[in-house]
Amino acid sequence: MQKLEELYSGKAKSIFKTDDADLFVMEFRDDTSAFDGVKKAKLSRKGEVNNKFNAFIMSKLAEAGVPVHFVRLLSERESLVKRLQMIPVECVVRNVAAGSLCRRLGIREGMELTPPTYELFLKNDELHDPMINEHHARAFGWATDEQLEEMKAQTFKVNEILKSLFDAAGMTLVDYKLEFGLVDGKVTLGDEFSPDGCRIWDKATGEKMDKDRFRQDLGDVIEYYEEVGRRLGVQF
């Protein structure tokens, strides 16, 4: 497999073509952003930490039967992934209230959500990832009924797998965002799963261990990402 030219550069990752039209190289950079790209920084070692973290989680999800685009680790910062036709809709599950849910609905941070909530957002930084519903996704052709059903089912399946994984390691999976795409028409989990796209709190102390450390200037961002990984069994 040969890495070819860069196809796309996002806020934290870059995608490269390969000599196989069905496979891309996903490179995790040290760039970090928050608030739809408004706050930016380079955090040393973030690329390799998130690459290994993502590989660990995606492998667990694949073992449990979730279709994922992750194929294998290639290097410290690179993973091989299947080429997806991305669906521009972000799927968010919340087990505990935090972030935009608290701001929008005046809910106290930390309230347990039973059952968990499920929300869709349009992936569009310029519009600040507005919340949408399934009717918008259908009306504007972003996803079909069947794809939306499959995205929801997979997103909740991920919750069942990861909630207990984090819990057993002394952490609460507060919320997370997933992105899906299509491989030969099949809804497949894409993007990444890392502390950049979820909230994780220490069960004992309530301490924040995810990107809120960057958003809220709490410090030691990557040290906490690594601590989350170490507790789960990620080999850094």
Report what 176 binds from ligand TMP, ligand ASP, none; CB cut-off 5-8 Å by kind.
ligand TMP
The answer to whether 35 contacts ligand ASP (rule: CB under 6 A) is yes
- In whole angstroms, the minimum distance from the beta carbon of 36 to ligand ASP comes to 4
Binding site for ligand TMP (CB under 6 A): 90, 92, 99-101, 121, 129, 175-177, 197-199
Please say whether the beta carbons of 177 and 211 come within 8 A: no
The answer to whether 130 contacts ligand ASP (rule: CB under 6 A) is no
Give the three-class secondary structure for 86: strand
- In whole angstroms, the minimum distance from the beta carbon of 5 to ligand ASP comes to 25
Task: Name, in order, each residue with C-beta under 8 angstroms of 135's C-beta and a sequence gap of 6 or more.
Answer: none
Task: Name, in order, each residue with C-beta under 8 angstroms of 21's C-beta and a sequence gap of 6 or more.
Answer: 83
Report what 34 binds from ligand TMP, ligand ASP, none; CB cut-off 5-8 Å by kind.
ligand ASP
Q: For residue 116, which amino acid is it?
A: P
Residues of span 2-21 touching ligand ASP by CB under 6 A: 11
- Joined together, the tokens standing for residue 7 give 């196809």
Q: For residue 84, which amino acid is it?
A: L
Please say whether the beta carbons of 4 and 25 come within 8 A: no
The answer to whether 34 contacts ligand ASP (rule: CB under 6 A) is yes
State the burial class of residue 115 (Cβ atoms within 10 Å of its Cβ: 0-12, 13-18, 19+).
exposed
Sole window of 35-43, 66-74, 145-153, 159-167 interacting with ligand ASP (rule: CB under 6 A): 35-43
Let me know how many helices (H) and strands (E) the chain has, helices first: 6, 13
Residue nearest to ligand TMP as judged by C-beta position = 99
Would the CA dihedral through 199, 175, 163, 183 be positive or negative?
negative
Report what 33 binds from ligand TMP, ligand ASP, none; CB cut-off 5-8 Å by kind.
ligand ASP
- In whole angstroms, the minimum distance from the beta carbon of 220 to ligand ASP comes to 18
- In whole angstroms, the minimum distance from the beta carbon of 186 to ligand ASP comes to 26
Give the three-class secondary structure for 119: strand
- In whole angstroms, the minimum distance from the beta carbon of 197 to ligand TMP comes to 4
Nearer to ligand ASP, 74 or 228 (CB): 228
Report what 110 binds from ligand TMP, ligand ASP, none; CB cut-off 5-8 Å by kind.
none
Report what 140 binds from ligand TMP, ligand ASP, none; CB cut-off 5-8 Å by kind.
none
Give the three-class secondary structure for 142: coil
Buried residues in 18-27 as b, exposed as e (16+ CB within 10 A): beeeebbbbb
Residues that bind ligand ASP (CB under 6 A): 11, 33-37, 211
